[in-house]
């Protein structure tokens, strides 16, 4: 997929496909072997760093916590990318590989993070007043609602129209059945039939 997303998608004008770095939580092997260690190993770690591994995990994750591989977190701003690069320890093999990959794609990641932020927080749109009171409209003419204010409604599924000839929500068009033309007999068969008919006429004349 292109970094800016598919050109036929509903958010193609946004200029980004993801705009986030997704972080998956630890699976069972990682959690049991590196986080939930034996008590004696935790004591040894506390002796060296003045805290246990679970305590360090809670401190470094901040307000977002992921406990297993079915939970995900994400970074969505350029400042967090810099913080992640500074946090990774180049002395670890896995962290060193991840750091190199992030540095390689850093500019693209930051560019699309900024485009995502611009798309989700446009400066020219007015915020909706949430304090609007609900009033009874019985017997009153309903005001016209401008659906063009919602960007998702301005997208048209041209791919379905081009490939299927109709939208997925519309029933397919009935195709008119054309009459099949009568098959043309090969010349050899026609000559054979003509020869037989001529022979029959000759027998009648006799």
d(CA 63, CA 60): 9
- Helix or strand run (H / E) with residue 24: strand 21-24
The predicted model gives 70-99 an average pLDDT of 91
Residues 14, 81 within the same domain: yes
108 and 30 co-located in one domain: no
Strand-strand pairing, 21-24 and 72-75: antiparallel
pTM score: 0.59
Domain range for 91 is: 1-23+77-120
For 74: left if phi > 0, alpha if psi spans -120 to 50, otherwise beta; the answer is beta
**139 in a domain, yes or no?**
no
From 12, 40, 70, give the residue that closes a domain.
70
Of residues 152 and 96, more confidently modeled: 96
Whether residue 205 is contained in a domain is answered as no
| Between 143 and 1, the higher pLDDT residue | 1
**Rounded-to-integer distance, Cα 104 and Cα 98, Å:** 10
In this structure, what DSSP letter does residue 154 have?
A: G
- Asked if residue 180 is part of any domain, the answer here is no
64, 62, 82: which is closest to 73 by C-alpha?
A: 64
Residues 14 and 1 in one domain: yes
* Helix/strand/coil percentages in the chain, nearest 5: 50, 5, 45
Which of 56, 67, 55 is closest to 24 using CA atoms? 67
* CA-based end-to-end distance of the chain: 86
Query: Does 64 lie in the same domain as 87?
Result: no
Q: Flag whether 155 is in a domain.
A: no
* Same domain as 51, residue 33: yes
pLDDT greater than 80 at residue 76? yes
Does the residue 91 lie in any domain? Answer: yes
Last residue of a domain, one of 36, 70, 104: 70
Mean pLDDT of 36-64: 89
Cα–Cα distances (Å) from 197 to 134, 182, 190, 204, 205, in that order, read: 92, 22, 11, 11, 13
Q: How confident is the model at residue 138 (pLDDT cuts 50, 70, 90)?
A: very low
Domain boundary (90, 120, 150) is at 120
65 and 82 share one domain: no
User: Looking at the predicted structure, is the pLDDT value of residue 195 above 70?
Assistant: no
């Amino acid at each position: 997929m292109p970094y800016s997303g598919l050109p036929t998608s509903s958010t193609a004008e946004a200029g980004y496909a993801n705009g986030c770095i997704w972080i998956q939580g630890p699976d069972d092997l990682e959690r049991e072997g590196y986080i939930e260690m034996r008590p004696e190993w935790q004591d040894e770690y506390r002796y060296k760093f003045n805290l246990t591994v679970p305590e360090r995990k809670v401190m470094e994750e901040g307000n977002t916590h992921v406990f297993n591989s079915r939970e995900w977190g994400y970074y969505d701003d350029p400042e967090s990318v810099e913080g992640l690069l500074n946090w990774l320890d180049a002395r670890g093999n896995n962290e060193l590989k991840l750091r190199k990959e992030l540095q390689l794609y850093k500019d693209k990641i930051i560019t699309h993070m900024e485009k995502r932020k611009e798309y989700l927080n446009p400066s020219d749109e007015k915020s909706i007043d949430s304090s609007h009171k609900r009033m009874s409209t019985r017997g009153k003419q309903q005001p016209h609602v401008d659906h063009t204010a919602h960007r998702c409604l301005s997208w048209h599924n041209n791919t379905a129209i081009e490939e299927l000839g109709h939208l997925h929500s519309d029933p397919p068009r009935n195709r008119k059945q054309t009459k099949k033309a009568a098959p043309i007999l090969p010349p050899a068969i026609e000559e054979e039939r003509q020869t037989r008919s001529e022979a029959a006429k000759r027998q009648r004349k006799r």
